[in-house]
Amino acid sequence: MIDIKFLRENPEVVKENIKKKFQDEKLPLVDEVIELDLQSRKAKQEADDLRAAKNKISKEIGALMAQGKKEEAEAKKAEVAANAKRLAELEVIEPELQEKVTKIMMKIPNIIDPSVPVGKDDSENVEIEKFGEPVVPDFEVPYHADILESIEGIDKDAAGRTSGNGFYYLLGDAARLHSAMISYARDFMIDKGFIYAVPPFMIRSNVVTGVMSFAEMEAMMYKIEGEDLYLIGTSEHSMIGRFQGQIVEEAKLPITMTSYSPCFRKEVGSHGIEERGVYRVHQFEKQEMVVLCKPEDSMDWYNKMWSYTVEFFRSLDVPVRTLECCSGDLADLKVKSCDVEAWSPRQQKYFEVGSCSTLGDAQARRLGIRTKGENGTYLVHTLNNTVLATPRGLIAVLENNVNADGSINVPKALQPYMGGKEKIVPIKK
């Protein structure tokens, strides 16, 4: 959510930003919120004036009564009563107007960074850099579900019976490799100086609306029936919510955290939940990184964070690339974002395994997260980035480490978490 003062003073800038995001249907919201904000401020000013007048007139009534001017005192009392009635009306109108302003402001997208390329959707995202040589082996790489089935590592049929489409059982060495990757991702980030955290996996609605747009919320979040609770779609939601309404000491910035959680997503509007594979599912596990910092440091942290994900996947022998998200592909709260994509030797193209974003002070403004230093109190900047989301990360490791005979090389970095196992071999039936 942008600053209402900025919008008042720069309505054309806000409208141009909306156009860059190809959300022209939101253009009328700018003028609408300006008018409502004006009415709200007028109502507040009138209410403040009436409160001040009440104190003044009360003193005048006392003086008139002392002078025996009863009729004049009664007239003043009538004035006070009329003012009180109007004040009562304003005390209802003012919060209603402010609520309308807030609701509209939460629909207006954040101001994107000037470096963000302008484009309608993800088809216009821009490749930044490749890391590692994308290899196409001289044998046909199996579909990841077939690799998993060859080591008896997946059961989607049973998951379909227990939970429905979009769920899965990981078994044996596949489950062990999955857990090894999560554990390695945790230690990888701890070694970078990040504080490890396991957050709540459910959050209240005021936290949800503080960290994401209404559209994202509807498309992603599972609501707990009968409770003001939602299952998290990523641990960033809980981790940012931890600081709701807090003033963080400036000396403690930056706050750098890495969090583990299961994640739950409806995937409404997606390209479809996979019948056999585990690329797009309702439930997965994730190691996240979250940073709270001073505004002037946020872009430096943004670049550090995505580079950590690149380093992580390269340590697993997975070639990756970074992709700059264009304006139309940015969620409304984001200032700038890039995806980290892993090489798929089977498809001979890259696919997304992580996303890094800086949100400026948008989440902090919604949740009231501030810091206090020598120059006063101000909003912090928040950033988040995927270290590892698996089973997508698992798919990348399987495809890039499978051999012609069907065996899978365990990357050296994961071997300590696999009891020293160097290779996973197919189970002969």
Give the domains, in start order, of the chain with CATH numbers: 4-105 (1.10.287.40), 122-424 (3.30.930.10)
Distance CA 327, CA 338 (A): 11
What's the confidence (pLDDT) of residue 51? 82
The tens digit of pLDDT for each residue in 191-229 reads 999 999 999 999 999 999 999 877 788 788 999 999 999
Task: Give pLDDT, residue 352.
Answer: 96
Residue with tokens 């806000």: 14
Q: How far apart are CA 151 and CA 429, in angstroms?
A: 10
What pLDDT, on a 0 to 100 scale, did the predictor assign at position 56? 77
Longest dimension (CA), the chain: 109
Class of residue 332 by CB neighbours under 10 A (exposed 0-12, middle 13-18, buried 19+):
buried
Question: Cα(137)–Cα(157) distance, rounded to whole angstroms?
Answer: 31
- pTM value > 0.75: yes
- What confidence score (pLDDT) does residue 269 get? 47
Which of the residues in the chain have pLDDT under 50? 269-270
How far apart CA 359 and CA 351 sit, in angstroms, is 24
Secondary structure class of 181 (helix, strand, coil): helix
Amino acid 429: pLDDT: 56
- Side-chain half-sphere CA neighbours of 296 within 13 A: 2
- Under a CB-based contact definition with an 8 Å cutoff, are residues 395 and 414 in contact? no
Asked if 190 and 197 count as a contact pair (C-beta separation under 8 A), the reply is no
Return the pLDDT at 272: 52
pLDDT digits 0-9 by tens, 33-62:
999 999 999 999 999 888 888 767 776 766
CA 245 to chain centre: 18
